[in-house]
Amino acid sequence: MRGAPLSSLISVDSLTGNIRAVKSFDFEQLKSFAFNVTARDGGSPPLSSEVTITINIQDENDNAPQVLYPVQTGASVVAEIVPRAADVGYLVTKVVAVDVDSGQNAWLSYKLQKATDRALFEVGLQNGEIRTVRQVTDKDAVKQKLTVVVEDNGQPSRSAVVSINVAVADSFPEVLSEFTDFTHGKQYDENLTFYLVLALAAVSFLFITCVVVIISVKIYRWRQSRFLYQSNLPVIPYYPPHYADTGVTGTLPHGYNYEVCMTTDSRKSDCKFSTLGGQNVLVVDPSFTETMQRAMKEKNILENSELQEMVRFGLD
């Protein structure tokens, strides 16, 4: 049992004597093992007997075939070369596979599943040899791809698939040029797919970002409008910068503006009188102030001159 404790393999019921497996067994690791079971009664003195039990494990088809040759590599392309002068029955290559099962479960058979030209190649059923069926001609394509299935003889059977590249050519440079183009085309397709996926991811990210930003702006504006609508802050009135409060309470409920146009002849200068919120406001243009002062001076001079004439007339 390779040092494994017996309790990790089986269990024996002390009342019924039933022997049960604790775990599943693998024929490739453990083919058989033996152990002793003792039966004892409850008498006085107790009597007992012992028996040796041997367990043989049968093989099941639990392993698939493993292909050893040709080695499958995803990064590079390996091709078997077949000259155009090859005769019928030319050995191209041989598929080598093994199965770790035992008995008939390890018997392997080989079948040609796919081929570029099925009339050109065949696979040996028992040995896995790939040979030509007919004479190779100039019309045959340089690149040939074969797919071989390896099956075991178990029930149910398990299988493995191997792909083989065959080059029908007379020189190595011809083979190299053909399969180099094939490799480059495959890498180009892989790169194109990668960049397409990357571009799609970038566009999707930008679209989602724009949608989130737009929704955020809409929500912010909606919240601002609700805040202003529900706000109870007092409204501060705005007065023009050239208005002056006279400090006198007016009697009109609304604000009125009066415009007076006067010059030296009392017709073109600006003077505005306004009553806002019950307060009298007088707005005087600077030119109008000078005009009024000049008129008052002239009036005083005239009054003084008239007074002097009246005094002189009284004295006479």
pLDDT at 269: 46
pTM of the model: 0.48
Tell me what pLDDT residue 171 has.
76
Fill in the amino acid letter for 66: Q
Cβ 101 vs Cβ 152: under 8 Å: yes
Q: For residues 92 and 82, is the Cβ–Cβ distance under 8 A?
A: yes
**What is the mean pLDDT for each group of 10 consecutive residues in the chain (316 residues)?**
76 89 85 89 89 88 90 67 89 93 90 92 94 90 91 91 89 67 54 84 92 90 74 52 49 46 48 46 55 72 72 60
Give the count of alpha carbons within 13 A of 33, CB side only: 17
- CA 111, 115, 119, 123 torsion-angle sign: negative
Residue whose C-alpha is closest to residue 104's, from 148, 149, 58:
58
- For residue 52, the model assigns a pLDDT of 92
Sign of CA dihedral 173, 175, 176, 182: positive
- The architecture CATH gives domain 66-170: Sandwich (2.60)
Q: What CATH class is the domain 6-56?
A: mainly beta
Query: What's the rounded Cα separation, in Å, for the pair 270 and 291?
Result: 11
Q: What is the pLDDT of residue 252?
A: 43
pLDDT per residue as tens digits for the range 218-271: 888 888 877 666 655 554 555 555 544 544 444 444 444 444 444 445 444 444
The maximal CA–CA distance of the chain, rounded, in angstroms, is: 181
